[in-house]
Amino acid sequence: MTALLLALAVAIVNACILLRDRVAKKAAEQKGTTASGRGDVIFVLLFLGFLIYAVWARGFLAGVGLTFLTCLGTVLVAALLDGWLTPWLRKRMGVAEAKPQPEPAPAPPEPPAREATAEERIWRIRDSIQELENAKDATIALLEAPSGMDTAWRDMWIGDAKEAYYSVVAAWEMLKGASEKRERAGNARSLLDAARSRTAQWASELRSLGTDQARRLEAQLNAAFEKCYEQFSVELAPYEEKPEVKPPEHRIIRVSADHYELPCSVCGKISVVFRVGKPADWEKPETYLLYSGITGGIYPGLNIQLAEKALGLLEKGDLAALHSYMEEAQALEDGIDAYCPQCDAIFCWQHYNAYETYDEGFYDCTYGTCPQGHRRIIDD
């Protein structure tokens, strides 16, 4: 009986020591000091003392067993007392209530990396050009692999790939000097636009091969080119002469009774010309209704018989009727190339967002998408 009472006493005392120590440690932590280890020593000594007593009083096995039960009892008592003893101890020792860990303060934003200079960025475009070069080399390897392909044909396609690639390289060389000379920016832009056309042609040739490898190569090539194009455009922008974006005063400019010009409705750039006359190098007597649009002109010109009605419609300012008339008379297969029927407006190459497409290496057609998003084939 004495042993059991003693065991209970030890359990209660040790439980209190356990709880007190925990709070003391917290208090020390908050003050930035270390808690004394006195509690731990008493705790261990009490158990050891009890163990010795229990073994002496009850024999080894029962003594050890009883000590073990005392340990369990300690934990049990500590759990029971925790609810009211711990807050009381905290108050006494001046320990702040355990607060939920504050959210770690967001790491201060990385100091912004130093902006790369234009020169560094231009230098980096070489990486994208390298990807294009890889596509070019892969294309050449693919075309040179033994196949039933006609050699003249093969050489032409290899030439197209090389032309596209070297246009980009030349554009890059121009770009490097663009900051000193503005005309270099213009040259770089022309080379880049030429490269875009050649790349479209090159891609169409790969597509016509119809193999998986060629299709992958086509995707690789297009991705590499688009990346180059984007990077070039960013770098060229500051040096490019901004075309004066000023809507024209009149949508039709009457130069004379048989000479009319149609300006772009966005920027005013002359995009279409209708004129009665002869091409500059024309030696024969007959005259034509000369026409030039954004995708080119008609050589030597349109049938002069069309002139009367066409010029009449221009005089009236009826572009819609003129467009239809040109189509119906089969003078211009797709009507006036610069004209958007839905908008009833003229757009220059740039504002019509025109681009050429190729099929098996041959020019296929030109698409235009007006600023309102109306898309049509403007030249076939």
Binding positions for Zn ion, rule: CB under 5 A:
264, 266-267, 269, 340, 342-343, 348, 351, 370, 372, 374
- CB half-sphere exposure, 153, CA atoms < 13 A: 12
Residue 72, C-beta contacts closer than 8 angstroms, at least 6 positions apart: none
Q: Which is nearer to Zn ion, 35 or 340 (CB)?
A: 340
For the bound state, the minimum distance from the C-beta of residue 313 to Zn ion, rounded and expressed in Å, comes to 20
For the bound state, the minimum distance from the C-beta of residue 257 to Zn ion, rounded and expressed in Å, comes to 27
For the bound state, the minimum distance from the C-beta of residue 294 to Zn ion, rounded and expressed in Å, comes to 9
Helix (H) or strand (E) holding 129: helix 118-144
Q: How far is it, in rounded angstroms, from Cα 59 to Cα 72?
A: 20
Q: How far is it, in rounded angstroms, from Cα 14 to Cα 250?
A: 101
Q: Which is nearer to Zn ion, 189 or 351 (CB)?
A: 351
For the bound state, the minimum distance from the C-beta of residue 350 to Zn ion, rounded and expressed in Å, comes to 5
Q: Packing angle between helix 60-93 and helix 38-58, nearest 10 degrees?
A: 160
Q: Which is nearer to Zn ion, 82 or 318 (CB)?
A: 318
Q: How far is it, in rounded angstroms, from Cα 238 to Cα 178?
A: 9
Helix (H) or strand (E) holding 260: strand 259-263
Q: Which is nearer to Zn ion, 186 or 277 (CB)?
A: 186
The pair of structure tokens assigned to 211 is: 């193999």
Q: Which is nearer to Zn ion, 302 or 338 (CB)?
A: 338
For the bound state, the minimum distance from the C-beta of residue 369 to Zn ion, rounded and expressed in Å, comes to 8
